[in-house]
């Protein structure tokens, strides 16, 4: 069975990026399991920031949207379609000032859409992207993953769960400025333990 992997890189560094190396290594490991199609989304290429007109288009019922509305939502629709097509989502996340890069936050804003990727029910919000797996490849210089000052990992876990993606694994090369050899070894061991399914 063909697997579709969505690889998202959010580091603004194209050379020497640890998170980019991690996503590449993770995708290579996952492809060992058989045939896989890879969709690559590089947020360093640029990403739209939502504004008032985008919000207006998003809140307009689908059947009432004008061509202008549809044009405004086109980039978001493309990103959502990539998520919908993916069986596994691999997200490279460098920790910038204790949180996610601005481009990754912009991506979240574009894909977290009521009635599109989640809905509100009498029981509360329900994610509509169920049955998918996510792997977060996190790199940090001085922030330990899941420490009191890590606002990246819990945020992304929550966002993904909100969208219906609850199978989330972490591959971390954290505290690279403290002990780079240990950080790299830990990440490599986590990648070695990944299975394609």
Annotated binding residues, as ranges? 11, 17-19
Tokens matching residue 39: 């969709």
Residue numbers belonging to the annotated binding site for FMN: 11, 17-19
The closest alpha carbon to 93, from 167, 152, 154, 159, belongs to: 152
Tokens matching residue 104: 């990754």
Secondary structure class of 142 (helix, strand, coil): coil
φ/ψ of residue 95, rounded to 5:
-85, 115
Tokens matching residue 34: 């058989």
Tokens matching residue 147: 């420490």
């Amino acid at each position: 069975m063909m697997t579709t992997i969505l690889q998202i890189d959010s580091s603004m560094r194209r050379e020497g990026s640890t998170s980019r190396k991690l996503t590449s290594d993770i995708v290579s490991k996952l492809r060992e399991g058989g045939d896989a199609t890879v969709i690559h989304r590089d947020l360093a290429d640029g990403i739209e920031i939502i504004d008032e007109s985008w919000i207006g288009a998003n809140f307009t019922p689908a059947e009432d949207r004008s061509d202008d509305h549809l044009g405004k939502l086109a980039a978001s629709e493309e990103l959502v379609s990539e998520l919908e097509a993916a069986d596994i989502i691999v997200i490279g996340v460098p920790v910038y000032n204790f949180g996610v890069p601005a481009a990754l936050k912009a991506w979240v804003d574009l894909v977290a859409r009521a009635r599109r990727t989640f809905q509100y029910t009498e029981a509360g919000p329900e994610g509509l992207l169920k049955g998918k797996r996510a792997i977060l490849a996190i790199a940090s210089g001085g922030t330990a993953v899941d420490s009191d000052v890590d606002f990246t990992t819990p945020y992304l876990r929550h966002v993904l769960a909100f969208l219906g993606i609850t199978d989330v694994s972490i591959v971390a090369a954290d505290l690279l400025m403290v002990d780079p050899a240990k950080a790299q070894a830990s990440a490599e061991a986590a990648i070695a333990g990944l299975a394609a399914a």
